Amino acid sequence: MHLPLGPDPRTDTLRRLQPLLVQRFGHTERAPRERRKPEWVLVQGVIGARTRSEISNAATDRLIDRFGSWEAVATAPLESLQGELSTQTFPGMAAERLKACLTALILARGAIDLSHLDAMETREAMDWLERLPGVGRKIAAGVMNASTLDRPVLVLDSHHRRILQRMGLVPPRADTARAYDAIMPAMPPEWSAAEFDEHHLLMKKVGQTWCRPSSPDCDACVAQALCATGRR
């Protein structure tokens, strides 16, 4: 993507978009503190493929309630994990990925403990997380942003990436990692980690409400005037 010299025009687009989203959907609330521990956010992300957040949240709580610690989850029989994850869209895959991820974390750290990330630069910490099995850019960004680590990084799910592509803010065929690298330089530098989190949650609602994978309802979308696809 070739951008003109000077201020990135995409930054102004994002600044103008955010109040429109808040006006339509209202402000979001951050998760309660017990769901903002980095380890909890990691587990929720690893088991959450193609599953609604509220279902994955409940499954993550159920795991820690049942086994008592993440170390016990890591050593639990795969069949037991699959049973606890029966509400997930892909329970077998979720159980296998979770066990592999937590096992690797214990080998690397001696425990299910991500406290060392607090002293790392954000990109270094994300690279470290992405070396764990089952952890890609979306999950790594989620751990850094949605947890108590509170870093201003953008979580991109399929809804959010699709909207950015249709708006013309990232390349049309970019995967999550490429879309993240493309949009981060354009994010408003004054936004806090909480504002990054809210932006993602609001954009997700846009994807669920109007900017669906097929038959998007551009005429009703609050972002139409700022969107390359909506203006056509």
Q: What's the pLDDT score for residue 211?
A: 97
Q: Is 83 helix (H, G, I), strand (E, B) or coil?
A: helix
Its pTM stands at 0.94
133 domain residue, yes or no:
yes
Same domain, 19 and 45: no
Are residue 24 and residue 84 in the same domain, yes or no? no
Domain identity same for 72 and 138: yes
The answer on 196 and 177 residing in a single domain is yes
Where does a domain end: 121, 146, 171? 146
Does any domain span residue 2? Answer: no
pLDDT of residue 231: 86
Residue from 83, 103, 110 nearest 95 by CA: 83
Q: Same domain, yes or no, for 89 and 165? A: no
Number of domains, the chain: 2
In a domain, 219, yes or no: yes
C-alpha 23/C-alpha 109 separation (Å) is: 44
Q: Evaluate whether residue 102 is within a structural domain.
A: yes
For residue 145, report the phi and psi dihedrals to the nearest 5 degrees: -95, -50
- Tell me how far apart the alpha carbons of residues 106 and 1 are, in angstroms, rounded to a whole number: 40
Cα–Cα dist 21/166, whole Å: 17
User: Does some domain include residue 56?
Assistant: yes
> Which residues span the domain enclosing 111?
37-146
Same domain assignment for residues 64 and 131: yes
Q: Does one domain contain both 124 and 48? A: yes
**pLDDT > 70 fraction of the chain, expressed in percent and rounded:** 98
- Crossing angle of helices 38-47 and 53-67, in 10° steps, is 120
pLDDT tens digits, 194-223: 999 999 999 999 999 999 999 999 999 999
**pLDDT digits over 87-119, tens only?**
999 999 999 999 999 999 999 999 999 999 999
Residues 79 and 142 in one domain: yes
The number of residues in the chain equals: 232
Report pLDDT for 4. Answer: 54
What pLDDT, on the 0 to 100 scale, is given for residue 48? 95
Neighbours of 36 (CB within 10 A): 15
Q: Is 129 exposed, middle or buried (0-12, 13-18, 19+ CB in 10 A)?
A: buried
120 found inside a domain: yes
- Is 231 part of a structural domain of the chain? no
pLDDT number for residue 5: 64
- Residue 103 and residue 43 share a domain: yes
Among 146, 169, 192, residue at a domain's last position: 146
Which of 113, 146, 179 is the C-terminal boundary of a domain?
A: 146
User: What is the model's pLDDT at position 103?
Assistant: 98
Mean pLDDT along residues 3-32: 92
> What per-residue confidence (pLDDT) applies to 164?
98
Residues 51 and 132 in one domain: yes
Determine whether 232 is exposed, middle or buried from the number of CB atoms within 10 Å of its CB (0-12, 13-18, 19+): exposed
Q: What CATH number did the domain enclosing 173 receive?
A: 1.10.1670.10
CB 138 within 8 A of CB 176: yes
pLDDT in tens, 173-195: 999 999 999 999 999 999 999 99
Tell me if 55 is assigned to some domain.
yes
What does the pLDDT read at residue 6?
76
Question: Do 83 and 136 belong to one domain?
Answer: yes
- List Cβ neighbours of 78 (8 Å cut-off, separation of 6 or more): 95, 96, 99
CATH number at 95 reads 1.10.340.30
pLDDT digit string (tens) for 133-168?
A: 999 999 999 999 999 999 999 999 999 999 999 999
- Of 7 and 69, more confident: 69
